[in-house]
Structure 1
């Protein structure tokens, strides 16, 4: 008889945020796979739950995933937890999900605490569309790739950051994305929870005066339609309509599509733009 693997979210700070369902799974499972067994033992002891603990973290995730699947096949119920939040979100867990799908092993993901959504709602920025990118890379090459991928996104951007890298990261974001509006959330759900809102410069000035402490979630405004339009206009602002058409034709576009795009960008009718294309 097959068992099952449960991905169980744990509180990101306030222990009262654990769900009744999470407690039920932890109480009824055969073993708990934990990112840090010492940290998880504190959580289980708080709720008077006594279960065997095995280590499951980013450095052993590949090998231990197979072990968890073997245990499930033997009929065991395994609860997988991380130090805080939902497994698989910038934490171990995604590999075991992939392995379960490949091996057709039953698994269940429980809803629960996550810093990402809590911070997004706190920010007051657009919650209808957002892009989560986790921790910003340290290497210059990887940072450049990141910026190329996100700079023109209209979605609200979400990052995690450690205190010792916070000011460097904020300065990097301001330099690459501009002085956008943002919110920064520190120690969510904990005693010293703090939410700051303003442009990036305002946040930098704050943490130049006050030493960063704790874990941070950065919520950064996406690029607005106005900004996108202004930047696009810069590329042809000094061109005549005829030169604008030629620009796109030289870039490989056929004349019909070039006329259509020029008309759209200049907010003119296609028939009016067509007049300037005669002879091109």
Structure 2
């Protein structure tokens, strides 16, 4: 059966998927622009994820075209199309999924991947802010029985979901949330990804270390006031705190560092 999940928009779906990947150890960048135009919705060291408005046939094929147009920009990542099973034309959608697999494109039917569904079901009472209005859990018994052809694709989706979790389980258990937030922040700074940087800074702002929390507050203020130019302030802010408060914040050099 298909568990019925609703999102108010594709942006809410993208936010939910990005959070899920981050919580299982992936470094996620959002809305990464391609040099030849267009954007990758979610980019990790492993995946380039495209989240079309729906997985109805027309949107599905448009996502395939976008991947083929921009794939040269992310040669090290596996292209992925992610979304929810459409209410109509399901047979056609699953047929398209089989076709694009031959092109090396993975398809994630999120409402049919148990780890994704269980993760957000567990957060139903206190949904994350990014998806609190867009995520809506309906009756878990909702959905429809699938044909044998569909079942084969779903089995592949289940295997993929568990593979993601297994691959990063050790990393999640060994790294603290704060260390992961730092790594995600530095990764976001490398590509000037403001959304991911602000998400990381929100987590660092809750640190028990006054140095870390002050850094997060100052850097967030700089990004909100100056936009992308605020990224240039990361090392000056760290140096100032190291001098003023005897902090030991790591200084990393970037292409734009002075």
Give TM class, smaller chain: under 0.3
Alignment TM-score, normalising by the size of structure 2: 0.24
Q: Which has the higher strand share?
A: 1
Alignment TM-score, normalising by the size of structure 1: 0.22
Q: Which has the higher helix share?
A: 2
Q: Which has the higher contact order (CA 8 A, sep 6+)?
A: 2
Larger-gyration structure (1/2): 1
